[in-house]
A and B are shown apart, each in its own frame.
Chain A
Amino acid sequence: EAGVTQFPSHSVIEKGQTVTLRCDPISGHDNLYWYRRVMGKEIKFLLHFVKESKQDESGMPNNRFLAERTGGTYSTLKVQPAELEDSGVYFCASSLTENTEAFFGQGTRLTVV
C-alpha cells in the first residue's frame, strides 16, 4: 500500500513568487493534515481536512497560504506570494479517522531566497 506522498520533495523559489505543494494521502483516509517545521523549531499544525471540508484551519499563519482538497482526495497548499520566513519543511499527514494513527509524508523542503 502506498504511503502519504508529497510533491515536490524540494523547492527553491524567490521571494514574491508562488509555490504549490501537493499531498496525496493514503487511499481511503478522510483526514488530511498539513504541518510545517521552520528553522529547526517544532512541527506546527497548519490545518485539518475531513474529506474536502476544512475542519480546522487555526494554524494557517496568514492569508498568503491557501489549502484546498477538491474532491476529498489529494490536497494542495499554495503560498502566494512567498516570503523568506516561509522557508521550512512542510509535512502532510493522513489518518483513517481522527482517532487513528496519522501517517506522515516525506515532506517538502521549501527554500525562499
Chain B
Amino acid sequence: GENVEQHPSTLSVQEGDSAVIKCTYSDSASNYFPWYKQELGKRPQLIIDIRSNVGEKKDQRIAVTLNKTAKHFSLHITETQPEDSAVYFCAPSNYGGSQGNLIFGKGTKLSVKP
C-alpha cells in the first residue's frame, strides 16, 4: 500500500513569509496529488491539486510542484496571512487504479504569526 509522509509536522512562520510543506509517497502508480486544508473544527477542503502529467500548478498565493521521479510533491504558500493557519494534508492517490480513495499524510500544522 501507499506510504505517505509529510514534513515538517509543524511549521511556524511570520506573516508575509513563505511556507513550504513536502509530501513523499511510495506508490509509483500514484497519479493524483491534492492538498487539503483543515481549519480548526472544520472539514478538510481541497485547496489545490495536480495530476501526473503536470509539474507545477499555481493559484494565486498557493502552488504545488511535483517530482514524480523522486516521488514527492510540495505545497508552497507565499505572502502568508493569519488565515492560512490550519492543518494541511497531502493525499496522493491512484485514480482509476485499485485505489480510488485518498491516502492522507499525517498533516502539517501551519501557524502564521501576525
Contacts and interface: CB of A to CB of B under 8 A. Distances in A.
Interface of A: 4, 31, 33, 35, 41-45, 48, 50, 55-56, 59, 91, 93, 98-99, 101-107
Contacts of B13: none
25 contacts: A33-B101, A41-B106, A42-B104, A42-B106, A42-B107, A43-B44, A43-B89, A43-B104, A43-B107, A45-B102, A45-B104, A48-B100, A48-B101, A56-B99, A56-B100, A93-B102, A98-B95, A98-B96, A98-B100, A101-B34, A101-B49, A102-B46, A103-B46, A104-B45, A106-B42
Nearest to B107: A42
Contacts, number: 53
B103 interface: yes
Given A41-B106, A42-B106, A106 B43 contact: yes
Interface in B34-48: 34, 36, 42-46
A104 B34 CA distance: 14
Contact of A104 (B44, B96, B105, B106): B44
A2 B112 CA distance: 31
A103 B32 CA distance: 15
A37 B3 CA distance: 17
A102 B34 CA distance: 10
A77 to B, nearest CB: 15
Contacts of B99: 56
Given A43-B44, A43-B89, A31 B106 contact: no
Interface in B48-104: 49, 89, 95-96, 99-104
